[in-house]
Amino acid sequence: MSSPVTEWELEYRPGKLRLYAVIAAVVVLAIHIVFGALLTISDTGVRNVGALDQLSIMLIGVVIAGAILLFTRPRIRVGPAGVSVRNLVTERLFEWDRVRGLSYPESGSSARLELPDDEYIPVLAVRASDGDRAVAAMDRFRDLDAEYRRR
């Protein structure tokens, strides 16, 4: 089944969060690969460490790095169909009749999409640490919100 093509007028991804996630994943992976490779070179006191153990340590690093890279996925898209929010794993599309706005909670690090009945969805893509980029995304969202909710 094919889904209808949706045009998005705003697509925003975090800047610093993605950079930090990639750096952390590379560091974790490098540490696990180096420790796995060097485990039998020095006298560690461990006598029965084989190639499978070394490979396991390296693969654990791959899994942890993959989990860290989930932080590169957050995104918000806004268009005529509504607001699409993708956080770490899932992506959800909210039609305009359900959207009440986008705001920052007090002492929060990321924005949240306001929904009816005091519900909200965290939007990990729009983060306070991105500074002016995040402010520009919020302004653009508010412009599109005003345009599409009037319809």
For residue 8, what are the CA distances in angstroms to 51, 74, 120, 129, 135?
A: 50, 16, 22, 24, 19
Confidence at 109, pLDDT banded by 50, 70, 90: confident
Q: What is the pTM of this model?
A: 0.79
Q: Can you say whether the dihedral through the CA atoms of 59, 64, 65, 66 is positive or negative?
A: positive
Q: What's the pLDDT score for residue 93?
A: 94
Most distant CA pair in the chain, distance = 72
* Percent of the chain clearing pLDDT 70 (strictly above): 90
pLDDT over 50 (residue 1):
no
Q: What's the pLDDT score for residue 2?
A: 45
For residue 115, what are the CA distances in angstroms to 24, 72, 77, 86, 134?
A: 34, 25, 16, 16, 20
Give per-residue pLDDT as tens, 26-68: 999 999 999 998 877 556 565 677 788 889 999 999 999 999 9
CB distance 142 to 102 below 8 Å: yes
For residue 54, what are the CA distances in angstroms to 30, 47, 60?
A: 13, 13, 10
pLDDT over 80 (residue 74):
yes
Give per-residue pLDDT as tens, 83-101: 999 999 999 999 999 999 9
Architecture of the CATH domain 74-149: Roll (2.30)
CA proximity to 83, closest of 126, 129, 19: 126
CB distance 46 to 114 below 8 Å: no
CA proximity to 11, closest of 131, 126, 135, 147: 126
CA proximity to 126, closest of 93, 90, 97, 102: 102
Q: What's the pLDDT score for residue 106?
A: 83
